Homo-oligomer: A and B are copies of this chain.
Amino acid sequence: MKRYVIKGNICYSRSSTQLCVAENSYVVCENGSCAGVYQTLPECYAAFPCYDYTDKLVIPGLTDLHVHAPQYPFRGLGMDLELIDWLNTHTFVEEAKYADMEYADQAYEIFADDLKNSATTRACIFATIHTQATSLLMEKLEQSGIKAYVGKVNMDRNSPAYLCEETPEQAAMDTEKWIAENSGYENIKPILTPRFIPVCSDELMQQLSNLQKKYHLPMQSHLSENLGEIEWVKKLCPDTSCYGAAYDKYGLFGNDCPTIMAHCVHSGPEEVKLMKEQNVFVAHCPESNANLSSGIAPVRTYLDLGIKTGLGSDIAAGSSLSIFKAMAMAIQCSKLRWRLTDQSLPPLKMEEAFYLATKGGGEFFGKVGSFEKGYEFDAVVIDDAIYRHPQPLSAKERLERLIYLAQDGCIVAKFAGGTKIFEREASIL
């Protein structure tokens, strides 16, 4: 039925500057969508069952726009390298293990479980090149109740032999078969996932472009993360004017099919213009960009230009699945960018970070990430009583604090698309 009322302190974004806080109020779920936030519950909803979360905070579920599931085992490890060396030394070695279904089963079980227990309700996930393991990940995620896009990764050049698709044709056949086998889920959908230009041949990109035309799938990849990477792309694609254009050449850069590009740390004016014109989403991954010494993306520019932007954990270049942590680091890194490189771009405010984590990233999934009327009903209920304080705090202050303090143990209930994923006691940390 998916009709119920949640009572609590309700916080959500209308825009990047407009945070709405309704203390001691009601938010209504009807047929899986939000029917509104009310100070006094309208008579017509009086008969709906009510979850009483008085004193707790109720926020939209968070969106993780960029996360690599197979890298979860080595989160927090081996971060003394920059991107390309990090991929070759740690990442590819780990991802190769997913040819082994027993390993994949163990590893993805942990990932799906931890993601379920986090504040994330929506995610865009990279798997590996292995179709069977990727299908298993999708099956596990479907059961978790999370709503997500999952991509079988494509890569066919400049990759170690043990993690490289044989031919573009074979890659396309495998991918098409994987799409067919995984299109029946309620919560989990396939997404095209060329890893990034350096490891995808022209022929492979053309094959993926054909698949996109045939199946109208969204697409995710990486863009302008690291200076060395950008130089490499220039050499590999001498006929394109910027890194983004190397995707666009194959029609794989926004427009009809929703596209996420992770990072965009060093995107130049032409690339940014293309992103804006073609509605490309930016997945801002501040922790990853610090850990791999990539830099700090100009998120203020993206917000000012109206470029669609959300946050990504980017496991395992980021160490934490927590999108609260991504919010905190987005703010902190924007301050360091302001201080160290460009005082024309004011740092992000907490309202903006919260927007990025909810409505900003949520938009990739449609009307997701807010409690405005008609939005899909994703909600997270937080018991922050464990973060004790001697003074009174408003709901807004409690939300602000959570950006810095929240740990998974304080999440006491979670709903996605109107369905309850779990309800539990807060755990003592």
Q: When A and B form their complex, which 9 residue pairs have the shortest distance between CB atoms, in order from nearest?
A: A76-B404, A319-B404, A76-B401, A290-B332, A106-B390, A293-B335, A107-B390, A340-B340, A110-B388
Interface code A306-349, partner B: CB below 8 Å = 1, 0 otherwise? 00000000000001100000001001110111111100000101
Interface of A is mostly: helix
Q: Which residues of B contact A403 (CB under 8 A)?
A: 76
In-complex Cβ contact of A428 among B79, B335, B405, B409 (8 A): B409
A294 within 8 Å of B (CB atoms): yes
A73 within 8 Å of B (CB atoms): yes
Chain B residue nearest to A110 in the complex (CB): B388
Q: Which residues of B contact A335 (CB under 8 A)?
A: 290-293
Interface code A348-379, partner B: CB below 8 Å = 1, 0 otherwise? 01100000000000000000000000000000
Give chain B nearest CB distance to A364 CB in angstroms. 27
A391 within 8 Å of B (CB atoms): yes
A39 within 8 Å of B (CB atoms): no
A248 within 8 Å of B (CB atoms): no
A304 within 8 Å of B (CB atoms): no
List residues of A (198-216) whose CB comes within 8 Å of B's CBs: none
Given A73-B389, A389-B73, verify A293-B338 contact (CB < 8 Å).
yes
Distance in angstroms between the alpha carbons of A290 and B336 in the assembled complex: 6
In-complex Cβ contact of A293 among B110, B339, B400, B427 (8 A): B339
Question: Are the CB atoms of A400 and B291 closer together than 8 Å?
Answer: no
A185 within 8 Å of B (CB atoms): no
A77 within 8 Å of B (CB atoms): yes
Question: Are the CB atoms of B409 and A293 closer together than 8 Å?
Answer: no
Q: Which residues of B contact A388 (CB under 8 A)?
A: 110, 114
Question: Are the CB atoms of B409 and A340 closer together than 8 Å?
Answer: no
A187 within 8 Å of B (CB atoms): no
Chain A interface size band reads 35 or more
List residues of A (60-112) whose CB comes within 8 Å of B's CBs: 73-80, 94, 97, 103, 106-107, 110
In-complex Cβ contact of A401 among B75, B336, B339, B341 (8 A): B75
In-complex Cβ contact of A295 among B287, B319, B336, B401 (8 A): B336
Given A76-B400, A403-B76, verify A336-B429 contact (CB < 8 Å).
no
Q: Which residues of B contact A337 (CB under 8 A)?
A: 340
Question: Are the CB atoms of A336 and B76 closer together than 8 Å?
Answer: no
Question: Are the CB atoms of A295 and B110 closer together than 8 Å?
Answer: no
A43 within 8 Å of B (CB atoms): no
A397 within 8 Å of B (CB atoms): yes
Distance in angstroms between the alpha carbons of A401 and B78 in the assembled complex: 9
Distance in angstroms between the alpha carbons of A287 and B336 in the assembled complex: 11
A408 within 8 Å of B (CB atoms): yes
Chain B residue nearest to A94 in the complex (CB): B391
Taking A320-B405, A427-B429 as known contacts, 10 extra A-B pairs with beta carbons closer than 8 A to each other, sorted by chain A number, are A74-B391, A75-B404, A75-B405, A76-B403, A77-B401, A294-B339, A296-B340, A336-B336, A340-B341, A409-B427
